[in-house]
Structure 1
């Protein structure tokens, strides 16, 4: 199995896509952090971001990396669909006739890549958030800002969103459709269920809602009220459950369907 996982990682890391996605993810994190730094303490329409020297600001800023889940999901989609797009899947299954082993290897590779992306964004956040707090006269505290819990949430979010992408890619096979589906899910469907108060009772059970519960960030910048997330432990279980579900979907669809 380790050989199959290494082969899947080699397929990904010999392309330019992984570092392009990583770079774009870090740029997005930089934009979010830049916004939080620039507007810290600024009040508008009765709502305001916390001041940069506060533990609440550090908590909010540290959670910015969770938005990178979409890039991990797209990489997961590509891990599967690129094989169909370039017709290498036949050779893969001829080399390893037990298709479920191939999918398990892709799932493990996806988890590792998601973890790698999360470590990169956490290092970037540390290099940005800690100086921002200390230079503003505050004291950076791991416990007061809940940094360990938020870091774990980012790690789980990015790793499991890669698994979601693999399941989606195995289901649709078409690369363009899979990528568009991932983007629509992350930026449209989940935002609708999380952003509209009447739908939040459903949205908190979706992967995005479970990830927010794990992060437990209660900032209300828009003044629309804070959604009632699941407890952090429940969010973690829901997120893991979705990962297992998508893994099962990936395995079942690949094993049963003809590749020609």
Structure 2
């Protein structure tokens, strides 16, 4: 692995060291959401991001950082680390092992290294210039998306259809009706399974830059693609489409483009 890939793995292990002891345990929790909304953040979220930031500052003080919990620091730097210390906080709170630590390195404006870590399962999915692999129990397993020629044969996923707007929900409903099987509630772990060749397509909306940046290098290095709902490079729209086989991308986009932002 490259220097930055190795460091990203070190960051993932630090995030796991801090966050895992809180899982299914006691921790402080606050609700950042407004009236009628629930947007939780836990002690594990805050402490994991703080720990990652300390390592970055010590190793690469000239690098920038964008994190969900503590905002931006030098976001215009050549190298910027993008952090979601716990993606799937609701799963974390519910005791479900589908939350992940997301860490990405953006170089020259695009994600070049990504890590999806699931500490409870002892899994780290890493993607970058040297390829894609899963690290587990001291072993490395190459990651590769699987062939899927038709949407009707696809296993697809989204976190929660309630997150879609009315028009988006209509698009998702049509894609889901065409697919062979749909799974819900997996958060970023669904993208790890796409890179591992178990899921064929993931479609989501309202994602922030820290929600999707780590996914891009992992999926691309495994042979898949990540775009917005117009089939273009992911952007500020928050609409993300990830596919393991590009042949089903256009089949999904026929519907998704109608509600693209």
Same fold (TM over 0.5): no
Structure with larger Rg? 1
The structure in which a higher percent of residues are helix is: 1
The structure in which a higher percent of residues are strand is: 2
TM-score by length of 1: 0.33
